[in-house]
Amino acid sequence: MALKAQSRRAPRPLYTEEERRRRDTSPWTIVQGVLAPLQFLVFLLSLVLVGRFLVSGTGALAADLSIMAKTLALYAIMVTGAIWEKAVFGRYLFAPAFYWEDMVSMVVIALHTGYLVMLIGGLGTVEERMLVALAGYAAYVINAGQFLLKLRAARLQAQPALAVAG
């Protein structure tokens, strides 16, 4: 048992000191902090409208408009997030610290874009289009959870540094 404990390596910190400094001074950190909850609010409203359509068959236009708004918010947060990742980690996507979050983000983008292709191309039924949007929303919830866990991990890793500094 002791051998197992000794062979375990301490997890790599989410940020090096330099990356943490760049994160804390980047204006893109604030942009992400504003866009993330805004996107979540648009998601909640859209989820209600899509659900209402799927249950009642009414409000397809409102649901479509809300999904388009959610997709635009997603594109905005993805573009600015890539810029943030470049500013902090030196690469636009798939920095080791956020590799799996970026991978799931690609699935989220693909599903949202698939919805737009269906809408613009007149492909499938309205119900099928809404189901693709819901699949995108499910992937978004998983992705948001990933980012919240990373945010929590970053805060926990910063606490020992604060305790020593304080």
pLDDT single digits (tens) 91-103: 999 999 999 999 9
Is 139 in contact with 111 (CB distance < 8 Å)?
yes
What is the separation, in whole angstroms, between the first and last Cα of the chain? 36
Own/partner contacts of 51-59, CB < 8 Å, gap of 24 or more, are 53/126, 53/130, 54/127, 54/130
Tokens of 102: 């970026």
User: pLDDT-derived band of residue 8, with 50, 70 and 90 as boundaries?
Assistant: low
Residue 164: predicted pLDDT: 47
**pTM exceeding the 0.95 threshold for the entire prediction:** no
- What confidence tens digit (pLDDT) does each residue in 94-134 have? 999 999 999 999 999 999 999 999 999 999 999 999 999 99
User: pLDDT-derived band of residue 12, with 50, 70 and 90 as boundaries?
Assistant: confident
